[in-house]
Amino acid sequence: MSLLDFLFPKRCVSCGKIGKYFCLNCYGKIKFLEVQICPVCTKPAIDGFTHYKCRTLLGLGGMYAACYYKGPIKDAIHLLKYRFVSDLVESLTDIFIRYYPKNLQKIDFLVPVPLHKTRERQRGFNQSFLLSQSLSRKLNIPVLSKVLVRLRYTKPQVDLTSKDRRINLQNAFFCSDPLPVKGKTIGLVDDVATTGTTLLECAKVLRRQGAKNVFGLVLAHG
């Protein structure tokens, strides 16, 4: 045990038991997605690839989500984002890659969904960027951390209807450097996808700048 762990021991995100962020009992309560879903209609889809009838020219090629946004995972993401427990990231990405599909289309670069600079200053970090860094080490895929920029400070999506979410994010993102994404397949990393609006808006920006394909890579859906 390190001195840091001795002074500030890890506690289970759900029950508070000392030792790990996910004790064995609470880890067993995580609901993994047994079948991936289409990011557009949210119906079952092989490995999360967008259904043919749901595809659009600037849309997502698909989405991989590790688990449902409930129970211990919801508790963990809340701690990460609102209690600033940033070292949770390694445990969360271990969960992410547990069932990561081996036959998912080759991804050239990971791109984190950006926060507006005001919100990132308030939080001290962008959780999607931290997740991207950790996934980069574990999947051996490089990160493009600055190509996607959030231009506007938007309302939190969680409080909005599906229609209002789309309006809220219109023209909210910008690609600052198209060259690295041109002709490449991008893995767009975020912590949670509910309606998928954020991922879809980011995908439009990247596809307009020449990305060959964009896949959403999220820890949780729901």
Give the pLDDT score at 161.
Answer: 67
Residue 152 has pLDDT above 70, yes or no: yes
- Distance in angstroms (rounded) separating the CA atoms of residues 143 and 141: 7
Residue 13's CB: how many other CB atoms inside 10 A? 27
Kindly report the backbone phi and psi dihedral angles of residue 212, in degrees, each rounded to the nearest multiple of 5, phi listed first: -70, -45
CATH architecture of 32-221: 3-Layer(aba) Sandwich (3.40)
Q: Is the dihedral of CA 140, 145, 149, 152 positive or negative?
A: positive
Kindly indicate the confidence band of residue 186, based on its pLDDT and cuts at 50, 70 and 90.
very high
Give the pLDDT score at 119.
Answer: 84
Kindly indicate the confidence band of residue 6, based on its pLDDT and cuts at 50, 70 and 90.
low
The per-residue pLDDT for range 41-100, each reduced to its tens digit, is: 999 999 899 999 999 999 999 999 999 999 999 999 999 988 888 889 999 999 999 888
Task: Find the mean pLDDT for residues 111-127.
Answer: 90
Domain ranges of the chain: 1-30, 32-221
**To 5 degrees, how large is the angle CA 3–CA 7–CA 12?**
110
Residue 120 has pLDDT above 90, yes or no: no
Query: Bigger pLDDT: 162 or 35?
Result: 35
